[in-house]
Amino acid sequence: MGTFVVFGGTGFVGRSIVHHLCAAGHRVVVPTRSLEKAAALKVSGHVGQVTPVAFDLFRASEATLQTLLRGVDGVVNTVGILSPKRLFNALHVQWPKTLATACGYLGVKHLVHISALGVSPSSKSAYAASKARGEQGVLSIFPRASILRPSVIFGPNDGFLGKFAKMASFSPFLPLIGGGKTRFQPVFVRDVAEAVLTVMTHDRCEGQVFSLGGPNVLSFRDILRAIVKTTGQDVRFLPLPFFVASALGWVLQTLPRPPLTADQVILLKSDNVVPANTKTFGDLGILPTSMLPMLPELLQGYVRGGRWGIPHPAMTDTETFLHAHL
């Protein structure tokens, strides 16, 4: 079994990756600015299997990074943010290049970089453009790196389904940005973690880019309707033209944790689905998980009347019910 370093291991995707690596018997090192936050990951494996290490990528020297990576079998980079925009270049472009340089110098065997679907260096979205430049930097320095591009990721305590389910629990309206026509291919966080484990342990995946999407292509409106049906909330949909949403995003992005930014509105103008002629879960031998039948479990904390309230129809035959109403 090997030793792997997971940057961003305390995050939503990172935690799942740590769990999967531990389940496969590997030792996992988790660099973090908060050792207290990382302590919870120790129960992911046996005693001593997960090792949190104090590390601040903004302040760490080249020597510190090399000391951390010396002798490891593989490295996973899940570091990424949706805001603030001023940190995109540092975290999405410069950091991946720094990490790839260290991995190449030390002869690390595997490097997996988590990117996102729809990225392009010519994108009008600063997020998408920076992620694309980060990919280019990694591959130019470490050509054997594997790049994973997931669509929007869902799972327990995610920032996607839970975000709108929470909004539906206190607001009489849910915004349909751009009319809610943008299409997504939601991917289960554990499937992404399984993909990481696969590419980390198979040489045939080196230097490859994989686009990861679930089995269902759903519009933004479809997803919000599914959330509302599952939770039983009495909510109306409010169409919000892109120009209005963009103006709102400019105002909200000044908040410490903005629910919407102008850059995110730009992202919503393009579909976020797996393109043709690209490597996918199928090339990794993974059957992706459907989001729809998992909604009752994932959103049980947002059901109207509480978890033990009167069952909603979606709670008894979710997939049939939701397919009939989407």
pLDDT over 90 (residue 37)? no
| Same domain flag for 174 and 101 | no
Proportion of the chain above pLDDT 70, given as a percent: 94
pLDDT over 50 (residue 322)? no
Alpha-carbon gap, residue 223 to 217, rounded angstroms: 10
Proportion of the chain above pLDDT 90, given as a percent: 84
pLDDT over 80 (residue 289)? yes
| Same domain flag for 121 and 24 | yes
| Same domain flag for 177 and 228 | yes
Which of 163, 145, 143, 161 lies closest to 153, judged by CA? 161
Q: What is the DSSP string of 134-197?
A: HHHHHHHH-TT-EEEEE-SEE-TT-SSHHHHHHHHHH-SEEEEEGGG--EE--EEHHHHHHHHH
Residue 313 confidence class, pLDDT cut points 50, 70, 90: very low
Which of 274, 248, 277, 273 lies closest to 263, judged by CA? 248
Number of domains forming the structure of the chain: 2
| Same domain flag for 125 and 260 | no
pLDDT over 90 (residue 305)? no
- Residue 300 within any structural domain of the chain: yes
Residue 48 confidence class, pLDDT cut points 50, 70, 90: confident
- Residue 227 within any structural domain of the chain: yes
- Residue 57 within any structural domain of the chain: yes
| Same domain flag for 68 and 202 | yes
| Same domain flag for 199 and 321 | no
Model pLDDT, residue 203: 87
Model pLDDT, residue 306: 64
Alpha-carbon gap, residue 15 to 24, rounded angstroms: 14
| Same domain flag for 206 and 249 | no
- Residue 285 within any structural domain of the chain: no
Alpha-carbon gap, residue 29 to 65, rounded angstroms: 13
Higher pLDDT, 48 or 98: 98
| Same domain flag for 96 and 16 | yes
Model pLDDT, residue 310: 38
Model pLDDT, residue 307: 57
The pLDDT tens digits for 248-279 are 999 999 998 899 999 999 999 999 999 999 99
Structure tokens, 179: 């009319």
- Residue 9 within any structural domain of the chain: yes
Please give the mean pLDDT across all residues of the chain.
Answer: 92
Alpha-carbon gap, residue 21 to 15, rounded angstroms: 10
| Same domain flag for 44 and 114 | yes
Which of 313, 269, 267 lies closest to 129, judged by CA? 267
| Same domain flag for 237 and 138 | no
φ, ψ dihedrals at 172, nearest 5° = -75, -5
| Lowest-pLDDT choice from 103-107, 201-205, 241-245 | 201-205
Domain that holds residue 260: 161-182+216-272+290-325
| Same domain flag for 107 and 170 | no
Model pLDDT, residue 320: 46
Give the residue from 212, 228, 250 where a domain finishes: 212
| Same domain flag for 263 and 195 | no
